[in-house]
Structure 1
């Protein structure tokens, strides 16, 4: 007994440390706003939980990214097996059958012995996330480590959804800010032309618009140059 106790204590300590790292990774996924960072964190955490090397594929309307614990990867950096599994069609449950996916390879040859692994998929409103972890002895479905890996992948899908939504909001805000700035610049340039030529606001706008179209320069840029130089619209383009 005296021999077993230190080993048991060491094992318990290792399990506690692993659980703490998993919780930290989950919290990071919930909070981070960096897409590349969350992909690497998720790959590292899922790989640790399943005791293998995890490779992710995340698809949104704007992106189709692959990543491992080291970060975002080009598809060419993946093994033929990983590319095959991550790109395989889904079955009725939305996840490619590991036995079928693992049996395929890019050249149709027999899969290597290490082809055994775990394939999981989770989808959100904007993202579909799939992970492949090559392991010698995959855990059974419903095993604690399998469930934790599924939860981490679900956290990743939700995190990508949040990041994509935030990016869209930011892009919308940026577009609004540019529109407001354009409105301000065009209004000031019109004021200069109205005062200088004693014309109406409609006529002043038409002068700016015509210069923009004739010289293929954005209206706000024509207005900015008129304001900065004091020259006529046709002279600044």
Structure 2
């Protein structure tokens, strides 16, 4: 025997106004929190915020390395957006740090700032909710989730980059040490003198030290002869 679901549970997909219900908003927020792909996070946020505010959402995310625009379809070039959308997303801040209201344009502009990212969303809607409306609160929470997600993705990318830099440093250390060993054995010189030969060849020929060392190892030639 089937048990009918309560009327409140039936609104998981949409609320009485036809807008997304709490379940869909929570699902979008969870996806943002867990996402490790920047383009996916932007698309999820654009779609969810647009649905909550009943309009078309356009995003701008700025970090120290990126300045991206996106919609519900994902990252888009600025040329794909209307001049109005670009203008609103580029508005300066008020004295209190909030983005200036777009008095010349309909819709709603929201901003959230994380440790490494500033996220703005403009939703082109003819009926923007009041500042204390539940829809606006949900949109602000989703944008905050996006800012946190971007922060995490940026940090992960930095860790990966740092790991790559560390691996390159270790490899450089190995190559230089091996090349020094070749010069020490060949010329019966000290380790300091061998390093100075490699360093001087690197500077004189404007070639990275690790590259000079690699060529010495591969060819067996003198440092000045491999650059």
Q: Deviations over 1:92-135 (max 9, x none)?
A: 4533343xx141xxxxxxxxxxx421111111111111110011
Q: Which residue of 2 aligns with 1:201?
A: 191
Structure 2 unaligned segments of length 5 or more: list them.
1-6
Aligned length: 217
Q: Tell me by how many angstroms 1:149 deviates.
A: 0.4
In structure 2, do the counterparts of structure 1 residues 124 and 117 end up closer, same or farther at CA, with 3 Å as the change threshold?
A: same
Q: Which residue of 1 aligns with 2:180?
A: 190
Q: Tell me by how many angstroms 1:21 deviates.
A: 2.9
Matches within 5 A, 1:222-237: 222-237=212-227
Q: Tell me by how many angstroms 1:213 deviates.
A: 1.6
Q: Which residue of 2 aligns with 1:91?
A: 94
Matches within 5 A, 1:1-237: 12=11, 14-15=13-14, 18-98=21-101, 101-103=102-104, 115-237=105-227
CA contact (8 A) 1:43 1:56 kept: yes
RMSD of aligned C-alpha atoms?
2.1
In structure 2, do the counterparts of structure 1 residues 49 and 172 end up closer, same or farther at CA, with 3 Å as the change threshold?
A: same
Q: Tell me by how many angstroms 1:78 deviates.
A: 1.5
Cα separation, 1, equivalents of 2:181 and 2:99: 64
Q: Deviations over 1:160-191 (max 9, x none)?
A: 11111222222222212211111111001100
Q: Tell me by how many angstroms 1:204 deviates.
A: 0.9
Q: Tell me by how many angstroms 1:236 deviates.
A: 1.8
In structure 2, do the counterparts of structure 1 residues 149 and 198 end up closer, same or farther at CA, with 3 Å as the change threshold?
A: same
In structure 2, do the counterparts of structure 1 residues 155 and 196 end up closer, same or farther at CA, with 3 Å as the change threshold?
A: same
Cα separation, 1, equivalents of 2:44 and 2:9: 26
Q: Deviations over 1:44-65 (max 9, x none)?
A: 1111111111001111222221
Structure 1 unaligned segments of length 5 or more: list them.
1-7, 104-114
Q: Tell me by how many angstroms 1:136 deviates.
A: 1.4
Q: TM-score, normalised by structure 1?
A: 0.84
Q: Deviations over 1:173-217 (max 9, x none)?
A: 221221111111100110011111111111111111122122221
In structure 2, do the counterparts of structure 1 residues 214 and 25 end up closer, same or farther at CA, with 3 Å as the change threshold?
A: same
